[in-house]
Every structure is written in structure tokens, then in C-alpha cells.
Amino acid sequence: FLNGFWLPVITSLFSILVSGIIISWYYKTNREEQQMKLAFTDGLTEIPNRRYFDEFMTKQWQKYEQKQQNLAIILCDVDFFKKYNDTYGHQAGDLCLQQVAKVLAESVRDSDLAARYGGEEFVTVLANTSPDAAMAIAQRICDRLKSLKIPHASSEASEYVSISCGIASTSVSLVHSPKELVECADQALYQAKEQGRDRAVLWAEK
């Protein structure tokens, strides 16, 4: 006995108190992690969203500046997606975007990023990747999507749902910031569309 209390009782009460604190901390941490995950995940495709891409890109750029390793991005746009929606309906359009997102996610390494950029646009960030390797990955994305043979009767590029890709790399001397890298990829994507879509184009200095 200590001050009128039996020691085993005090020990049990202390254990219950500590357990309560640990459980409370666990659920609070888990809830915060879930909220963070929701904030950075696209609700439709369940891949990272534009907000996550912006933060990921900033971190990768910092690593690139420290190690001077190639950093590449692929900006993708589903060909004639508005016509797809008009032809098959928005529910089918949502399913199509989910399939595109899955193709992108399965075409990159775990250390890379595949994210929804906005609307029918997607983006991948490829760390320590040469321009030729990035081009090969972009072509793999195009081929894998076409292999699903999702009908697209109103497309002017293919009988199936296809995608256009613009690739940019830090190997280009004009690129000095993440924003400029995205702009170069966007220009390459524009070239892909001008050339008939359903293809990948690597941006190069003129």
C-alpha cells in the first residue's frame, strides 16, 4: 500500500491513461493523413492532382539542381475528348479518364509521378531520365492506351481513344525553372496536335 492505494491498482490506472493517450494520438494522426491524402488526390481518377504535382515538381527541381541529373516531364492530352463526351456521354467520359489515368500510373516507375493536370490533361514527372528514355515512356503510354481499344467514333486521329504527348527535359539549355519546363512540354504537346495527334513529340531548341 502507498498512501492508502494498492500499487497494482495505480499501475493499471496509469496503463489505461497512457493507452488512451496513445490511441487518441494514433486516430488524430491517421485522420490528418487521410485528410492530406484527400487534398492531394484527384477525386475521379484517384491519382495525384494538380496541387500535388506542383509540390512534387518543386521538390524534384531542387534535387535536380543539387545533383544535376536529368529531369523530364510528359504533358498528355486525350485526343478529341470533348467529342468523346458528346458522343458517348459524360459518364462514359469519366470512365475513359479513369482508364487513361491507370495507363499512366502503370507506365512510370514508383519513384516517378503520374498526375491529373486538369480536365483531360495529365502529366508525368520522370526523375533522372534522359530525353530518349522519356520519349520511350511517352510512346509506351500512347501504345498501351490504344491497346485498350476504347471506341472513339468521333475522333479524327484514331478509331480508338488515343493520347497526344509533349515531352520536355532539363537537358535543354533554355530551361531554368519548373515553369519553363512545363511551358516547353506544352509547346511540344501543341506540335503533337499540329502533326495529327495520337503521337509523342520531344521539345527541342530551335
Catalytic residue among 32, 55, 120, 121: 120
CA 71, 121, 157, 144 dihedral sign is positive
121 belongs to the catalytic site = no
Q: Is the CB of residue 174 less than 8 Å from the CB of residue 180?
A: yes
Pairing of β 121-127 and β 71-78: antiparallel
Cell numbers standing for residue 143? 501504345
Torsion angles phi and psi, residue 74, rounded to 5:
-125, 120
Residue with cell 493517450: 21
Active site residues: 120
